[in-house]
Structures are given as structure tokens and as C-alpha cells.
């Protein structure tokens, strides 16, 4: 298996996890979407210095990973992909906002550092929550629920197409790259002078393949169904999970808010 094929397999490994069965997997998809949305909204609503207020939220991903029996390494590795971006976004705060916020022994933590930690924690928790949602809910169920929530159809169709065709694109790239490598001078990456024609051919081939895939989709009734499935009603377990998780998220948020005199900061 080439590196590219491994990447494709890795990309779909989250989706494969969603086919498992556990208490979390068996929850109604809408419950999982709403819980995740409330979780993210709560995290986003914190101000830039409320680090400790967000820490208890880290328990939610851990708890769901445990209940869903998902390998923590898969989520952790993918979450780290976001790390450089949030580090880049927050690093300047350290140099701009130097006023001391907390003194721990001889270590002084500035407001800039505090805001960097908040950005890091917030981003990693939000990304982890979304990854967990994908790992415990089949992609089709997610998009179907989004349709039921009346999100614009064009947005959801684009999401579906990107998700489906990114694999097609990578597969074509993997095939071309193997063929290239076997006949190239150095047997490694694509040389810069060949990059233009390689990428051009890749796009043309992917376009051609995408047309065939779309033909196969149409032959199996794609775009003919108006998604009028009767929504499965929530079970008692669904209601319990939704109320408990959202209740705790909101309670933690209220506890950390400035309106609560005993807030963390």
C-alpha cells in the first residue's frame, strides 16, 4: 500500500468507526448533533482569559470516547492537526499582552499566554467534539439530519460531494503517483518540472472518474429521493443523553459566567 493509499484509508477510518455499535453510536443522530453544537457554542462563548472555566469541558470528549469504545489515539492524532493553526493564531498575543494575570510561585503567566492557552484548548476541544461526532455517526445520517434541520440543500450536497470525491481524487493521485514513481529518475516525489502536467492530468482524470461515479450514483437513484423518511422518534435514552449533556454544558457555562459571583475568573 502506498503512502497515499494509507492516507485515503486513514481518512475513511473515522467513518468506519461509525459503523460500530455502542450506547453512543445508537443514539439518535439529531441528539448527537445538538449536543455537539451546544458544546461548541458554550466553548465559543467563553471570553479569551477564562481558561479554568473551560477545563471541565475536556471531560465530555473523554467520556464519549470511553462510552463509544473509540481508540483515543485516532481522535487525538487528528485533533493535533489543528494545533499549528491555533498556535499561529494565538502566538502573537504572548508578545502583545504581557501584563501578568496569574503568579504561580516564581512563574508569571501573562494575559497573552492565558489567551493563547484558551485558544489552544478551545480549538482542540471543538475539533475533538466534531471528530467524535463523525466517528459515532454515519456521514449519511449526519447529512440527512442537517437536511431535516432545513439547512440549505446546496450546502449539504456540496458537503456530500466533497466528502465523496476527495477519496476519488486521492485514489487517482495514488495510482498516477505509483506509475510515475516506477518510471521516474529518482523514484521519489514528483519533480517540479513534471508537476504542472501531473496535476493537470490528475484533474482531467479525476473529472472523468467523477463523471463515471456520478453516473453510477444516478443509476442507483441519487437525487431522486426527496428525503421524506419518517424521523425516528427519540427514545428515553436519547432524551436523557440530550438533557444531561446540554444541562451540564449550560450549567458549567453559567458557573463560569461573570453573572455568577462565584465564577472561576
Partner 1 sequence: MLKIANLTVTYPDETIGIDNVSLSVKDGDSVALIGANGAGKTSLIMSLVGALPSSGSVFAEGIKLSADTLNEIRTKIGVVFQDPDDQLFMPTIYENIAFGLYNMGVEEDEIKLRIDACLALLNITRLRDKTALKISGGEKRLVALATVLVMEPSIMLFDEPTAFLDPKARRNLIQVLNALPHTKLIATHDLSFAAETCSRSILIKNGKIFADGLSENVLYDIELMDQCGVEAIGANGRQLK
Instruction: Using CB under 8 A, list all residues that contact partner 1.
Output: 5, 8-9, 12-13, 15-16, 19-20, 138-140, 164, 167-168, 171, 209, 212-213, 215-225, 228-229, 232
User: Residue 12 or 265: which CB sits closer to partner 1?
Assistant: 12
Task: Yes or no: say if 256 and 46 are a contact pair by the CB < 8 Å rule.
Answer: yes
Pull the grid cell for residue 95: 508578545
**Least Å from the CB of residue 175 to partner 1:** 10
Question: Which residue, 4 or 33, has its beta carbon nearer to partner 1?
Answer: 4
Q: In this complex, which beta carbon is closest to partner 1, that of residue 202 or of residue 264?
A: 202
Residue 227 is placed in which grid cell? 428525503
CB of residue 216 to partner 1, shortest distance in Å? 5
Residue 45 neighbours by CB under 8 Å, 6+ apart: 253
Minimum gap (Å) between residue 15 Cβ and partner 1: 4
Residue that the C-alpha cell 444541562 belongs to: 247
Write phi, then psi, for 48 (nearest 5 degrees): -75, -5
Name the grid cell of 155: 450546502
Phi, psi of 18 (to 5 degrees): -70, -15
Question: Shortest gap between Cβ of 132 and partner 1 (angstroms)?
Answer: 17
Q: Which is nearer to partner 1, 12 or 49 (CB)?
A: 12
Which of residues 63 and 216 has its CB atom nearest to partner 1 in the complex?
216
The C-alpha angle with vertex 152 and arms to 30 and 38, in degrees rounded to 5, equals: 35
Which grid coordinates are listed for 176? 498516477
Q: Which of 40, 18, 15 is nearest to 160 (CA)?
A: 15
Kindly state the smallest distance separating residue 213's Cβ from partner 1, in Å. Answer: 5
Amino acid at each position: 500500500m502506498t503512502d497515499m493509499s494509507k492516507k485515503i484509508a486513514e481518512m475513511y477510518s473515522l467513518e468506519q468507526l461509525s459503523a460500530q455499535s455502542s450506547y453512543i453510536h445508537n443514539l439518535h443522530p439529531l441528539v448527537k448533533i445538538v449536543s455537539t453544537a451546544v458544546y461548541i457554542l458554550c466553548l465559543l462563548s467563553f471570553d479569551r482569559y477564562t481558561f479554568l472555566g473551560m477545563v471541565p469541558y475536556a471531560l465530555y470528549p473523554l467520556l464519549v470516547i470511553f462510552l463509544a469504545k473509540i481508540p483515543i489515539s485516532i481522535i487525538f492524532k487528528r485533533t493535533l492537526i489543528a494545533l499549528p493553526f491555533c498556535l499561529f493564531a494565538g502566538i502573537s498575543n504572548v508578545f502583545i499582552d504581557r501584563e501578568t494575570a496569574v503568579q504561580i510561585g516564581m512563574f508569571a503567566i501573562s494575559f497573552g499566554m492565558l489567551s493563547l492557552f484558551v485558544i489552544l484548548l478551545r480549538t482542540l476541544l471543538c475539533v475533538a467534539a466534531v471528530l467524535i461526532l463523525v466517528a459515532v455517526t454515519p456521514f449519511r445520517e449526519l447529512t440527512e439530519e442537517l437536511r431535516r434541520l432545513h439547512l440549505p440543500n446546496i450546502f449539504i450536497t456540496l458537503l456530500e460531494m466533497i466528502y465523496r470525491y476527495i477519496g476519488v481524487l486521492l485514489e487517482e493521485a495514488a495510482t498516477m503517483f505509483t506509475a510515475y514513481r516506477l518510471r521516474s529518475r529518482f523514484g521519489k516525489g514528483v519533480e517540479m518540472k513534471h508537476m504542472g502536467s501531473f496535476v493537470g492530468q490528475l484533474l482531467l482524470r479525476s473529472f472523468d472518474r467523477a463523471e463515471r461515479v456520478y453516473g453510477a450514483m444516478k443509476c442507483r437513484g441519487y437525487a431522486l429521493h426527496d428525503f421524506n423518511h419518517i424521523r425516528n422518534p427519540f427514545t428515553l435514552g436519547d432524551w436523557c443523553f440530550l438533557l444531561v449533556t446540554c444541562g451540564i454544558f449550560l450549567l458549567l457555562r453559567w458557573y463560569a459566567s461573570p453573572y455568577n459571583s462565584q465564577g472561576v475568573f
